[in-house]
Structure 1
Amino acid sequence: MVSRNGRDSNGQDVQIRKNFNETAFFYPNLQTNSKGEIIVSFTMPESLTRWNFMGFAHTKDLKMGQISEEVVTQKELMVMPNMPRFFRENDKMTLSVKVNNVSDINIKGNSSIVFFDPVTQQEITGLFLGRFPNEQEFSVEQGKNTTVDWQIKIPEGMSAVGVRIIAESDKHSDGEERIIPILTNRMLVTETMPLPVSKTGTTEFTMTKLKTNNSTTLRHHRYTLEFTNNPAWYAVQALPYIMEYPYECAEQTFSRYYANILATHIANSDPKIQRVFELWKNTPSSEALMSNLEKNQELKALLLEETPWVLEAQDENERKHRIGLLFDLNRMSKESSDALNKLQKQQKYNGGWAWFKGMPESWYITQHIVTGLGHLDNLGVTEIRKDNKTWNMTKKAIEFIDGEMLQSYKDLKKYCDDKCMAKDNIGYMQIQYLYARSYFIDDVPMNKSTSEAFEYYKAQAQTYWKNKSFYMQGMIALALYRFDEKEVPAKIVASLKEHAIYSEEMGMYWKNESGYYWYQAPIETHALLIEVFDEVADDQVAVEEIKVWLLKQKQTQDWKTTKATAEAIYALLLRGTNLLSDDSMAVIQVGDMTIDPENDPSIKTEAGTGYFKKAWDGELVKPEWGDIKVTKKSNTVSWGAVYWQYF
């Protein structure tokens, strides 16, 4: 008689084999002793099988040798179960076990099978065998084998089972233990419904499949609701990405300055916002600092660690966990000062910046930095004009891009007659120049020769905007509007509306050609078009719709580059920081149940984003939960989703 713990009738432990590694050992670097010997010590896996032993050796002068032998591991009495790789719920099967006798005597004894829960170690043999006994006698002659069989049925509701099989006689014993997965004979289905809300009042949603479900075999598994009240905070949570980007090129040095000076401005703009920063700083393990992918791990069919998004999730998680440190006002002040000093040192005598030290000045990168300084100034960051160092640096850079634009005009006139000059000669750099210059057109005057070139390219933009990309059209619209030219910007806005795609979930967006060049970047394009519809069209409905798309890109992936992140943050904060100070919570009605996170102590909401999640087990789910109502007090963009899972 053998117990389920592997102890025979005499109270002696039966050796139960559990280690079935396919590689016994691998030692890649062995050295001989003074006698030229190598002694290898290892523990053999417990599979009863034939092993290949292979060795390779070489000397310092590359003389080589190798050895290949076979090793057999066996016992005089061996149980060899024919185990499947997995069980499936409700399957009925015959589990066969071969009992081998390689001794020189006949053996009689008892065999037993035990099923147990691998987590709790509790025996559950009855669930698999029913009324059948778990023990059988066997008799096997010397040098031969026999089989013992058990009829089993796989129960429902288990993910894995431990199987322990033992054969034992008076003088011999053997046992084998394995963990076998149990697959459900049903498929887990996850039905999802997004809850995009961008206006005050009550918005209604219907999950038709749940509401009209009348299946008699469907089994509810889980119902989950999640909602983010103020996703604009994701823009703030992205700031550490550009604060800490490690490279020292001019673009990323400026991005560090941009992020730190902007974060300081945000923190000082409203006590509510500063309070959120303090909460993040004092609760570094807060769920607000978790990756959005990790928050929803239980909704995935696979563990997050096994998905292709793992590195992205871990990287985002790391960045968020550093937020508490990064949003310290003293640290941000020092970092912005350091970045500004470094940026001033990188600026050449003529006002331009090179990509990296030692390279020639870049027209593009200088215009990018001038544009960024214009963005900060437009957001109300007073340091751009009030700090003499910063303002002098800005004026020098503007003089440089004026000179580059003038040079491109001179080069064009050199090779072009009047007919050629009337053609489309405005390129990406000239359009970017007009946009960058528009932020400081009244503050930094240009000389007469520069004005001639400026007027030429302005006229070119008015004439040839139709064959430009959406990104370039947006820059032209903003530049011309600031130069008091209203007709063409209005036409550009009308054209952009005609080409836009509208979606309740994704908002308003454009399908544009994406590529490697700066003027083909979709995030930057949509960020700029937010500025167009805000400033030129004063269309706040369109602005909010484009913000939905922009925030969705952050929700589902990332903004990917320091430049894209900086542009997106600027676009989202264009109307000031009031958007961030909105801490009102939506009230959600699921069927006849009200979820009010503001007054429900069981619901923990994130500081800033107002994100929360609530889940219910399958036995509680009702068809009326297919009706959802979301009531909001503000016009800020919010989103959420419900997930209904069933077998």
Structure 2
Amino acid sequence: MPEAVTQWKWMSLAHSKDLAFGMNTKTIVTQKDLMVQPNAPRFLREGDRMNFSGKIANLTDKELTGQVQLQLIDPTTNQSVDGWFHNVMPNQYFTVPAKQTVPVTFNMEIPYQYNKPVTYRLIAKAGDMSDGEEAVLPVVSNRMLVTESLPLPVRGNGTKNFTFEKLVKSGSSETLNNHSLTVEFTTNPAWYAVQALPYLMEYPYDCAEQTFNRYYANALATSIANASPKVKAVFERWRTTDTAALMSNLQKNQELKSLLLEETPWVMQANNEAQQKKNIALLFDLVRMSNEEAKAIGKLHELQSSNGGFVWFKGGPDDRYMTQYIMTGVGHLKKLKVNTSNDQLNDMVKNALPYLDARMNEDYEFMMKHNKGKEDSDYISPLHIQYLYMRSFYPETGVPGNVFKAYNYYRKQAQKVWVKQSRYMQGMIALSLFRTGDVQTANNILKSIKENAIHNGEMGMYWKEFTGGYYWWQSPIEIQSLLIEAFTEVTKDMASVNDMKLWLLKQKQTQNWKTTKATADACYALLLQGSDLLTNTPEVTIDLGNTVIRSKDQQQEAGTGYFKKVFDEKQVKPEMGNIKVTVTNTSSPTGGGREGAGAAAWGAVYWQYFENLDKITPAATPLQLTKKLFVEKNTDRGPVLEPINEGQPLKVGDKVKVRIELRVDRAMEYVHMKDMRAACMEPVNVISQFKWQGGLGYYETTKDASTNFFFGQLPKGTYVFEYPLFVTHTGTFSNGITTIQCMYAPEFTSHSEGVHVTVE
């Protein structure tokens, strides 16, 4: 029965076989004449000073006088720990008027190094009446294992210096204890594109786009496997010995993450990605690949209608965009010199091209009819531009004479209005014009695109318009992939191409490429220069002060060249914060070494240490956190928020607003943010739920000592989160810190500083 002074209705029902029934209702009140009601916090934190409060209720018609006692007990030994907790006045006298309550408080200090829960017993006695209540409270440590990280992005050959400021200065703290120092490095991230290929093969829906991408993945995999014996050997190692390469990024480096994967909402995503990577062994089984190719082409043939167009799902109408997408994909494979000689596939191409030519001609005739026989001076849609780009892959199949007028009109429109188009459309126009003889306009378009680009040493070359959207021409991964193709083919500007490939790979570092379209286009762009990127194996030397790590001395993952080295607490020294990374290529890829000179590699250093919460200083990586506390006060102008400064006292009953400002400089996925709180604060939001705020969706869940936020997707930008708390106890309390970490790339982690809260 719940311990509350309330009235409960007790209802009973009895019935016989012939449905005669009787019913009875009684009321029960769960109360005693003398009742003690403790107001215990959810938890205690080492080092806090607090006033443990409660109240004594007198339900009789006369005044009661008696004694109340607080007992603190170690539940593991059943021994008193009043002395440890400085519970110096465990017995107090009270007098309660009739039908009233009085408060009682006990001063206590939570000891350091206690490391166990504590049982409290609050017992009140008055004459022959008594009442008591007992419960167990967790005691949480005031020290925290903090993970500081320093990303190590490197471009090409050469040496780059990094300084881990906090590690260098760590010797100045008397309370800091080192736990470990971990170095990890990936020498050839281009292999992450290959590891993503099974995602194309495995998608569960039998629509035209995904059926084609199954064929695309198998054809691409066959080409990669046959490209070089070295590449084939990597797949064999993954399948037999180097199985860690096939783990999901969400599953790797659990010891460096703030939260176990099992405690997040992303267990299924991790399992799915791991399964996709494991299936890479199946994907690169050459016998299986040829069977899968034939199966995918057969299914695709079933999705082509009699007029040559492909339907999205079987039984639906022919879909012009889907047909153009599939024909473009076949064109991509031809560009990559992938063997596409298949009679059934050739027949599909022969039927699809006239279908698309006819649709363009219909659009032209429709425009002429509604424009009184005159050509519109400003009429072209993304679908028309996609057609021009797709058609440029098939110069051997000329445009029919009856369609040439329409084709020529849309080509001229593209030459005229390219300035008004999106980056994706501009890239398609540049490629289609370049392949059909207009080299000057194509170069002008790419010159304009390059002038508007953002250049960043770590992130490479990209565009500020990369924000995503609802339409097929607004996906950042697909846009970047197409622009890589344009710069590779039209200007042969390999420096820009390498910068753009770097951006594409950096997206894979913090995100799981989400769609089959994005994955297919990214693989196409990264492998556009053949397999040279994959066969390139740089040697890396990392100097941590006087300690040297060489990649050739480490056990490297096949393909990606990933390795990890861990130093225990006795080996960690402040001088290791002075870091030097040197990269030398053992093989120079095609292109006079230029591609190798700009190829990306990345890694990170993780420093883990124990420190008192109130001595932790803020850390900033590409994730930046600021935590502020405000007290809400009612005025004649309505509620007003006043900032709480260090040492400024609060009062019991105050409404406190926690404000967390988060800045993130790149899109990330699977991000966890944990906000700790003082033992004197009680949350208002206690129901876990999914929330939307400013276009950002996240899951918020409240625990006893913290509030947790889970972001499936966290776009680049600045976000502000607020939630309310009420002050419930007096004393001095540590309020903890706020931490945030990308679970997909744990090197991106940050935290706020620790603060103290005083309640009078």
Structure 1 and Structure 2 fold alike (TM over 0.5):
yes
After superposition, give the CA deviation of every residue in 1:545-592 in whole Å (9 maximum; x if it has no partner): 111221222222222111111111111111112222334442211221
Asked if the contact 1:89–1:156 (Cα under 8 Å) also holds between the matched residues in 2, the reply is yes
Residues in 2 aligned to 1:56 and 1:539: alpha-carbon distance in whole angstroms: 85
- Opposite residue 559 of structure 2, the aligned amino acid is G
Equivalent residue number for residue 558 of structure 2 = 607
TM-aligned CA distance change 1:377 to 1:82, over 3 Å: same
Distance 1:234 1:52 in 2: 63
The one-letter code of the counterpart of 1:269 is A
Check the 8 A contact 2:86/2:109 in 1, yes or no. Answer: no
Structural mapping, 1:405-416, within 5 Å: 405-416=360-371
Aligned amino acid, residue 522 of structure 2: A
- 1:417-465: per-residue Cα shift (whole Å, max 9, x none)? 68x6261222211111111111111x21222222222222222222211
For 2:415, which of 456, 462, 469 is the aligned residue? 462
**Is 1:534 equivalent to 2:485 in the alignment?**
no
CA distance in 2 between counterparts of 1:520 and 1:131 reads 61
Q: Please state how far the C-alpha of 1:288 moved relative to its aligned partner.
A: 1.9
Tell me: CA distance 1:92–1:262, structure 2 relative to 1, closer, same or farther (3 Å): same
Match of 2:469 in 1: 515
Partner of 1:236: 194
Q: Answer whether contact 1:162 1:177 (CA < 8 A) is retained.
A: no
Partner of 1:576: 530
Residue equivalent to 1:12: none
1:393 is matched with 348
The answer for the alignment partner of 1:19 in structure 2 is none
User: CA–CA distance in 1 between the matches of 2:214 and 2:267?
Assistant: 26
In structure 2, runs of 5+ residues without a counterpart are 57-68, 93-103, 123-131, 586-595, 610-615, 617-760
> 1:26 maps to which residue?
none
Question: What is the number of equivalent residue pairs in this alignment?
Answer: 576
Aligned residue runs from structure 1 range 79-98, under 5 A: 84-91=41-48
Q: Is the 8 A contact 2:187 2:561 kept in 1?
A: yes
Match in the other structure for 1:624: 575
Which letter maps to 1:597? S
Please give the residue correspondences for 1:494-505 in structure 2 after superposition, counting only pairs within 5 Å: 494-505=447-458
> Normalization by structure 2: what TM-score?
0.65
In 1, Cα distance between equivalents of 2:9 and 2:234: 63
* Matches of 2:270 and 2:9, distance apart in 1: 42
Instruction: Output the CA distance in 1 between the equivalents of 2:409 and 2:241.
Output: 57
Q: 1:369 to 1:182 in 2, by over 3 A?
A: same
Contact 1:438–1:479 (Cα < 8 Å) also in 2: yes
Check if 1:486 corresponds to 2:439: yes
Shift of 1:96: 9.6
1:194 aligns with 2:151: yes
The aligned counterpart of 1:297 is 254
TM-score relative to the length of structure 1: 0.76
Give the share of equivalent positions with the same residue, in percent. Answer: 47
Q: Structure 2: which amino acid aligns with 1:403?
A: A
Measured on the aligned residues, the alpha-carbon RMSD in Å equals: 4.5
Deviation at 1:537, TM superposition (A): 1.6
Distance 2:293 2:198 in 1: 13
How far residue 373 of structure 1 moved from its aligned partner, in angstroms, is: 0.3
- Residue by residue over 1:400-430, the C-alpha shift from the partner in whole angstroms, topping out at 9 and shown as x without a partner, is 2122222222222223368x62612222111
Matches within 5 A, 1:423-438: 423-438=377-392
User: Is the 8 Å Cα contact of residues 233 and 580 (structure 1) preserved in structure 2?
Assistant: yes
Identify the residue that residue 602 of structure 2 maps to in structure 1: 639
1:369-404 per-position Cα deviation (integer Å, ceiling 9, x unaligned)? 00000111111211x2x2222222222212221222
The AA in structure 2 aligned to 1:271 is P
| Structure with higher strand content | 2
For 1:179-578, list aligned pairs within 5 A.
Answer: 180-184=138-142, 190-212=147-169, 215-217=172-174, 219-222=176-179, 223-282=181-240, 286-307=243-264, 309-382=266-339, 384=340, 386-416=341-371, 421=375, 423-441=377-395, 443-512=396-465, 514-578=468-532
Deviation at 1:79, TM superposition (A): 12
Bigger helix fraction: 1
Provide the rounded CA distance (Å) in 1 between the counterparts of 2:13 and 2:561: 64
Distance 1:300 1:53 in 2: 50
**Does the 8 Å CA contact 2:74/2:118 hold for their aligned counterparts?**
yes
Kindly tell me: are residues 304 and 372 of structure 1, through their superposed partners in 2, closer, same or farther at Cα, counting changes over 3 Å? same
User: What SS is found at the alignment partner of 2:552?
Assistant: coil
Q: Distance in 1 between matches of 2:461 and 2:575?
A: 32
Report the CA distance shift for 1:628/1:250 in structure 2 as closer, same or farther (over 3 A).
same
Q: Which moved more, 1:310-319 or 1:452-461?
A: 310-319
Q: Distance in 2 between matches of 1:66 and 1:477?
A: 85
Does structure 2 conserve the Cα–Cα contact (< 8 Å) formed by 1:220 and 1:645? no
Letter in 2 for 1:388: D
* Gap regions ≥5 residues in structure 1: 1-43, 100-109, 139-147, 168-173
How many Å apart are 1:535 and its aligned residue? 1.2
Cα distance between partner residues in 2 of 1:244 and 1:69? 62
- Go from structure 1 to structure 2 and tell me whether the alpha carbon gap of 1:571 and 1:300 turns closer, same or farther (over 3 Å shift): same
Residue 283 of structure 1, CA deviation? 5.2
Stretch deviating more after TM superposition (530-539 or 510-519): 510-519
